[in-house]
Amino acid sequence: MKKAILLLGFLVFGVQSSFSQGDFVLGVNLGLPTGDIKDYSNFDVGADVAYLFGLAEIVKVGPTAGYMHFFSEDGEDDDLSFEASDFQFIPVGAAGRVDLIFLVAGLDLGYAIGVNDGNDGGFFYRPKIGFSLAMLNIVASYTNISIEDNFSVSTFNIGLEFEL
């Protein structure tokens, strides 16, 4: 876990010094798990940071990294009860945004590093759409992390993004 947090810190500060004309975007969100993961988790929280620089007047791209924490839910499966442990991911990848006056749309792509034991992580994608209020965006998104053995972690999220 310490190595992953250190990697995240180097990524953020390294990118900041590489680009001189970009915008930091800090985000927080709450999510409702769907698909394969909904039997093991009832909600998740997340935070992310992106450093976006303009390619065109309305298009921004840059690196992104974050943290996702899924809270476990004990349950039963075919008359067997089980206790599930919380699990966490650190998604690291590329972000793209299109700003259209009061509307913002985007896509994050990359790899979600599994933090807890037995969690290898996997490819992730997160399409986003939101409403822009100057330096604050209200954003709805869908996150999917494809893990081996045809298991995926997916969630619908609502959150806030602060542009600094």
Number of domain units in the chain:
1
Those residues whose C-beta lies under 8 Å from the C-beta of residue 118, and which sit 6 or more positions away, are none
pLDDT at 119: 87
Which of these, 109, 107, 104, 99, lies nearest to 54 by C-alpha position?
A: 99
SS3 of residue 36 by DSSP: helix
User: Under a CB-based contact definition with an 8 Å cutoff, are residues 26 and 61 in contact?
Assistant: no
Query: Which of 17-31, 47-61, 81-95, 103-117 has the weakest average pLDDT?
Result: 17-31
- The CA distance from 125 to 102, in Å, is 24
CATH value at residue 129: 2.40.160.20
User: Under a CB-based contact definition with an 8 Å cutoff, are residues 58 and 99 in contact?
Assistant: yes
- The CA distance from 96 to 105, in Å, is 8
CA 152 vs CA 9, 70, 106, 121, 146: distances in Å? 27, 13, 21, 10, 5
Those residues whose C-beta lies under 8 Å from the C-beta of residue 6, and which sit 6 or more positions away, are none
Residue-wise pLDDT for 60-113, tens only, equals 999 999 999 999 876 666 667 767 788 899 999 999 999 998 999 999 999 999
User: Residue 155 sits in which domain range?
Assistant: 2-163
pTM summary value = 0.81
pLDDT at 77: 64
Radius of gyration of the chain (CA): 17
